[in-house]
Amino acid sequence: MLCISYFCRKNSYFCRKNYDFCRNNKNKSKSKSKCNSQNKNKRKICKQFSTLSYSKPIKVIDPYYISGLTQADGSFFCSIEKINKKNHPNSKGLTFTPIFDITLDLDSKSTLDRIQSYFECGKVITKLSDNTVRYRIINRKDLVNIIIPHFKTYPVFFNKLHAFNLFSQILELLSPVSGERDLKRILTLSVSMNLASRRTDKDIFELSQILGLSSNEPIKKIPDTIYNITSEFKPGFLAGLIDGDGSFNISFPQNLKTGKIKPVLSLCLGKNAATQFFNLSKSYLGASAVLSQSKAIYILKISSLDDLIKYVIPFIDNNPLLTKKKDHYKI
């Protein structure tokens, strides 16, 4: 049994590699057809073997999970750097670099490694100074060809969707075919992506001055007007969200003799998203969930043991967590 499943894994790995090889050779039409037919056969073999040996196929990361994790811990932003016009006579004084990033605690590095191998691009960077690890994609081709299509198919919501929409527009404006770059528009989009950013109006004015824009027409931020969910809220997305912003705790009563020790699942939700995410999550995690608010933070909590057993545990079993939180869950 072990032997077959090992072979199958090997074989499917081979298949995938072979498939990539075909992809890379897309333009060479001769090899393409040959490769495709070869590949089809190999995939057939893989399938036959995997049904024989594995009850579940080789676990690939759920793309909705990546979007859920991005909703919690990812960001789309555009870094703006000032450059010296003397050294770069052709430049307008600013460079714009769109970046996609997911930052997690250092102990969840393997999650980002898996996402990197899923997308087959980007870098995982460890930052020991603040105990974090980040997955970053800066290469514009990868952003355009891999990241944009991913989030169009498996969308994020609310403020993250707002940032994503502006992010895609910036990439379009930066593409070489769009001729003379509309830098005012790119700057406007860049400063509107993350409205909670620390950049002040004064900073934005200074940037527009560098581009030589008229001070009579100041940059106006594009407001975030996404108040509703317009695409499906999938369980994989919720699992990613829990992995990013959720936690499993044991709450101890004040009086240990009379009170009960309770396991609790909590999930932090953004202000705009709170009510709708809360209602949708209840359909997966049980009706006993409550939403509490303290200042700008909204927290979904489930402490009913019945619901934890009936809904939460089966849910997490079917939609596994990948970060260090899976260990907290197991406890």
| Closer Cβ to Ca ion, 224 or 245, answer by number | 245
Nearer to Ca ion, 187 or 269 (CB): 269
Least CB distance from residue 243 to Ca ion, whole Å?
9
Answer yes or no whether residue 62 interacts with Ca ion by CB under 5 A: no
CB-wise, 98 or 244, nearer to Ca ion? 244
Backbone angles phi and psi of 176, in degrees to 5: -60, -25
Residue 68: CB minimum distance to Ca ion, A: 12
Shortest distance, position 73 Cβ to Ca ion, whole Å: 5
User: Residue 330 CB, nearest distance to Ca ion (Å)?
Assistant: 19
Nearer to Ca ion, 254 or 294 (CB): 294
Closest CB to Ca ion among 45 and 268? 268
Token pair, residue 299, equals 């927290």
Q: Does 122 bind Ca ion (CB under 5 A)?
A: no
DSSP bridge pairs for 99: 77
Stretch touching Ca ion by CB under 5 A, among 67-75, 144-152, 246-254, 287-295: 67-75
Q: Which stretch binds Ca ion (CB under 5 A): 72-80, 209-217, 218-226, 275-283?
A: 72-80
Q: Does 73 bind Ca ion (CB under 5 A)?
A: yes
- Residue 183 or 273: which CB sits closer to Ca ion? 273
Identity of the residue, 12 or 111, whose beta carbon is nearer to Ca ion in the bound complex: 111
Nearer residue to Ca ion within complex by CB, 71 or 168: 71
CB-CB contact of 132 with 104 (8 Å): yes
Min CB(163)–Ca ion separation in Å: 16
Residues within window 214-253 making contact with Ca ion, judged by CB under 5 A? 244-245
State the nearest-atom distance from the C-beta of 31 to Ca ion, in Å.
Answer: 45
Interatomic CA distance for residues 320 and 60, integer angstroms: 11
**Smallest gap from residue 268 Cβ to Ca ion (A):** 8
By CB under 5 A, the count of residues binding Ca ion is 3
The CA distances from residue 154 to 63, 137, 230, in Å, are 7, 18, 12
* Contacting range for Ca ion; rule: CB under 5 A; set: 55-63, 71-79, 135-143, 161-169: 71-79
Site map for Ca ion, 15-54, x if CB under 5 A?
A: ----------------------------------------
Binding site for Ca ion (CB under 5 A): 73, 244-245
